[in-house]
Amino acid sequence: MSKNQTVVVLDFGGQYKELIARRVRECAVHSQILAGDTPIQKLKEIAPIGIILTGGPHSVYKAASPHTVKELFELGVPILGICYGMQLMAYTLGGEVKPCGVSEYGTIAATYDDPKCALFDGLKCETTTLMSHTDFVARVPDGFRSVAHTADCPTAAMCDESRKLYAVQFHPEVERTAEGTKLLRNFLYKVCGAAGDYNIDDVIERQIKAIREQVGDRQVVLGLSGGVDSSVCAAILEKAIPGQLTCIFVDHGMMRKNEGDEIERAFKGKSLNFVRVDAEKRFLSKLAGVTEPERKRKIIGEEFVRVFEEESAKFAGSFLAQGTIYPDVVESGLTTGAVIKSHHNVGGLPKDTKFIGLVEPLRYLFKDEVRALGRKLGLDETLVSRQPFPGPGLAVRCIGEVTKERLDILRDADYIYREELAKAGLCYDQFFAVLTDMRTVGVMGDGRTYNYVLGLRAVITSDFMTCEYAHIPYPTLDAISSRIVNEVKGVSRVVYDITGKPPATIEWE
């Protein structure tokens, strides 16, 4: 854990808790997410310089909703309540919270009524905020005053400067709130007195020291996928314990074109042992005849574990390294107590393991911090900026049965798509090709064809929780489509997905 000054983010079921913690770190202050019911004694032991209360989907005046104790606000620590966190602060301290006459959802115009309030120092008085609430603070607690409003919310922010208690009904952590990060920075530096002592260079030094102390002269084995997390994990382990790391790359045959070779080139020749296991035939035989997406995922996941276990058995008595990152821990409920999504790499070593311990140097880092760490460690930008790629690889971008022939069609089409976007100087947050299981009639030369429909997807997103489709210029789409149908045998029609998230997901399966 960090020895830096820390701001604790107490989670009350807010969907943006990770985003709050990330924003705090972007302001050079360390953050830690804890459950909303974390005991007061534990908070005293952490000794945070500030506490932020997250939003949540509840009504604070209902008995079943999450609550807190009055002692939280008597710690003498500056506190910022956000959305539900504001209502919780008001309710706990004797204010009144009621259902809204008019609920506010989306971007709402707000007015900061008191420019002397520390939160609003240097901010515009008239601004836009992201609101998402059906309740509001109808009466502020004694000692507080309302310092912001909207057309339908008379108390959009409140504060009690004497106790350093502040709260906002809107979400300053999201991009749709203008100057939201500046507001958070004001809380951190003008209210909490942050020193700004958190940076990636310190993280590298601390983790290298921690790895060396934990591992000593023992060997470490890492399952290397070539993704951002495992690649950065490998890089920092190699720097900390050169010559003691073995990276096992299970090549299941479902990577993008040339990707397996690129991963091998990136790690061959370094002071580590790189093992590439060619398991393509093994995986494809298990997937024969399987079309259901979740069944594909399960088969690939189970087979991956078996292959890795067989290969890693040669290194019994070693440590196991994993590229676990902070969102994995949070979403698995080991930080907040609420399971959002279970992650296979969270929860410690499996039973009956031959490994002697677990090494997780990225466990308390967010993805953007992991990328920054990779750049500091000198990793190739193609690895550091690699787009999200599903664990089952192209198997879940190949709709229907997965065969080598269909994977090769998809690989070639996806490669052309990426190449043409690069030629046009275009890069989106995520983009890929999907081979559908639908065939369509076409005409090529003087003959009739009946080949596959290929889908293209490109999205713009800041957090991958929502997205908009990318408006790829028509000339570029035309060039992509023309090349694919002319160069990739088996494809006679190309379509472009213009659906956002929601209602769709980013991936098709």
Side chain identity at residue 249, one-letter code: F
Rounded Cα distance, 437 and 359, in Å: 42
Positions marked active-site? 83, 171, 173
Q: What's the Rg (C-alpha) of the chain?
A: 26
Three-state secondary structure call for residue 265: helix
**Tokens at residue 247, please?**
């990276």
On whether the CB atoms of residues 159 and 187 are closer than 8 A, the answer is: no
CB 49 within 8 A of CB 77: yes
Token pair 């002269």: residue: 217
What's the CA gap between 27 and 370, in Å, rounded?
16
Q: What are phi and psi of 376, to 5 degrees?
A: -60, -30
End-to-end CA distance of the chain: 37
* Rounded Cα gap, residues 178 and 172, in angstroms: 8
With contact defined as beta carbons under 8 Å apart, do 363 and 326 qualify? yes
Tokens 């760490």 -> residue: 373
Q: How many CB atoms lie within 10 A of CB 463?
A: 14
Q: Find residue 273's DSSP bridge partners.
A: 246
